[in-house]
Chain A
């Protein structure tokens, strides 16, 4: 297997938790991984991305070449579109529909979603609403991971193992709510593909 994944969002939105979960899942599954992330200045409310590469063979580059990403997972619609130069022609774009508006000239959301829909393979999910339905607004990033999970070639068991490793410190309840968020995200995609 080989998957190139771009995680997109804004500094502070929790994309590094998604990356860490997938990373732990990959290690548990004995799959090679490289995951590059942005630290420093951009973390202060700027656009951030993480390149996540999984393979059963050795992985060379830490960054995904343009045109070679299999999936873009974005926790915010405008950021999903920023990485289109990286998306392969048959790649998937999985994005949250809820904008993160922290700039004065944020574009019209319907227009952004229309642009997302121009990509052949897309999933648009209201992750906030799903996270709210289980009373855990902070889990919307894990809802997004769940929504992307059918395209990752990682079993749900491995992803749930990843969640246990990442959130285990914070107690069983936090682990369980995130597992539920993951499952609901996946269910949404399975019903809307």
Chain B
């Protein structure tokens, strides 16, 4: 059978489908988005009605996946690393409930913050929750791990985390497929109290989770994903985790690796291999594409001189790994081309030509210049690019939904009016509850929901907010007199400026909803229409 050329993300989706998954749940987030998108357009998934619709946010996604697991079926939930923060409540507690059908949490971390606000390492969360982690070193392994992770989850009655990083998520490689497994049948949990986390039951469940830990450790020691490669040179040994193993191999393309290596791709950390390499080698270099978690575990509180890595400066403390960093850490001859000429200029991302957010910022900047700067609280989406030149229109971007609630807090402190700038998809992700807080206190803020009717930054996925924003705002209790809309176009600039002036001056909560579809999704639709016409 010919190999399939798949992104790491797509390999995971294909592996999960082949592994008997009945549903995938997610909110779009770079670099995890393509996992769910692959399932959405997959023929087998469509024919077998594998669930793949987007969820409102990562918390609702994970809760739905846990519900599917409760009902005996295999479910996957996908998110970017910061999505785990949103889902943390159910994530932590799902380790206590355990599973019925296999439950896999796929998390795509983004070291170097290519498209993120931080570079937190999800392996910390898994350790915190006391669940196993699978961390592939290449696309084929990602496929196989997704294929078998449901079995692991069902065998030990715990959710399993599948953790990848950006480079693996967004790189294509040829994948060999395994035979299709059948989906689980609908079944209720054998223990009817398993999912009721009343303190008395939760204590019992937690002890079960503690009791299974030695078995998880043993599973790691016996896992085919963890390996020990012995070599004569004992001066230095390398513990290479996930993608770090891949970068290590890159530096030894045509020759055998002269020192002992432990490859770690399943956690808890395999004690047998780690003890062996720590005992046998004078120094141990730890390579991790993320935080120095393994390194810190080996160091303990009392530092020893043996372990080298991000904490000792052998590897940079932040940012993603690459083959050159590994070469430097091992003292190998590093390679480099030539410097780029000094005339080279940076080319930061920017909003698309014709984007409605631009019209909103042009009006907003005009009004803010009059009433005083430093009061625009923004959020996460394409409009965050309003922070850059030429707009420099926003003062904050912290987490999904924080625009509204931070504006409220600032207004509580006396910064009146404060303005929130949020997109439609972010609003339904995490903005609605914050708006309710502002409704309850009639906070003197204006919430601008710049509605482009899509989830733009991640590539134009369906937004839950389409055609619902006004009903949601009214339902939450926003006063109809101060719930206004406009089409953000040049010809409406004056009208938008006036509207903002009026609502900013109003001493209570107001919401302005500029509505114009994203130019990218609009042109995609137009092209699709022309293509269909031509075919007919």
Show the binding face of A for B, using Cβ within 8 Å. Answer: 10-11, 23-24, 27, 32-47, 51, 57, 59-63, 65-69, 78-79, 81-89, 91, 102-108, 111-112, 115, 170-171
Contact = CB atoms under 8 A, between A and B. Distances in A.
Interface in B325-362: 327, 334-341, 343-352
A84 B5 contact: no
Contacts of B350: 44-46, 102
B385 A40 contact: no
A40 B2 contact: no
Interface stretch (B30-38, B197-205, B270-278): B30-38
Interface stretch (B43-51, B242-250, B306-314): B242-250
29 contacts: A10-B347, A11-B349, A27-B5, A33-B5, A35-B173, A37-B171, A39-B31, A40-B457, A40-B458, A41-B114, A42-B114, A43-B349, A44-B457, A46-B350, A51-B171, A60-B138, A62-B171, A63-B171, A66-B336, A67-B337, A84-B337, A85-B338, A102-B347, A102-B350, A103-B346, A103-B348, A107-B344, A111-B343, A170-B531
A83 B247 CA distance: 20
Nearest to A34: B173
- Ordered nearest first, which 7 A-B pairs have the shortest CB separation? A67-B335, A40-B30, A40-B115, A46-B349, A36-B171, A62-B171, A61-B250
B496 to A, nearest CB: 23
B479 interface: no
A67 B174 contact: no
Interface residues of B, number: 54
B115 A60 contact: no
Nearest to A32: B174
B336 A67 contact: yes
Given A45-B350, A103-B345, 13 more contacts: A27-B2, A34-B173, A39-B30, A39-B34, A40-B115, A45-B351, A51-B171, A61-B323, A62-B171, A65-B324, A66-B334, A83-B340, A102-B347
Contacts of B224: none
Contacts of B322: 61, 63, 65
Given A10-B347, A42-B349, A102-B347, A84 B340 contact: yes
B388 to A, nearest CB: 10
B471 to A, nearest CB: 30
Contacts of B5: 23-24, 27, 33
A89 B336 CA distance: 9
B327 A60 contact: no
Contacts of A36: 167, 170-172
B114 A171 contact: no
A81 B344 contact: yes
Interface string B137-178: 010000000000000000000000000000110111110000
B382 interface: yes
Contact of B459 (A27, A39, A81): A39
Contacts of A66: 324, 334-337
Contact of A33 (B168, B172, B341, B349): B172
Contacts of B247: 60-61
Given A69-B337, A84-B337, A115-B341, A41 B171 contact: no
Contact of A85 (B3, B336, B351, B382): B336
Interface of B: 2-3, 5, 30-31, 33-34, 114-115, 138, 167-168, 170-174, 243, 246-247, 249-250, 253, 322-324, 327, 334-341, 343-352, 382, 385, 389-390, 457-459, 531, 534
A68 to B, nearest CB: 6
B534 A171 contact: yes
A33 B34 CA distance: 20
Nearest to A112: B343
Contacts of A35: 171-173
B337 to A, nearest CB: 4
A124 B221 CA distance: 55
B352 A44 contact: yes
Contacts of B458: 40
A44 B385 contact: yes
A61 B174 CA distance: 14
Contacts of B249: 60-61
Given A37-B170, A42-B114, A45-B352, A78 B344 contact: yes
A79 B382 CA distance: 23
A106 B344 CA distance: 8
A36 B8 CA distance: 10
Nearest to A11: B349
Contacts of B327: 65
Contact of A63 (B114, B167, B174, B351): B167
Contact of B337 (A23, A86, A170): A86
A125 to B, nearest CB: 20
A24 B172 CA distance: 11
B323 A65 contact: yes
B323 A63 contact: yes
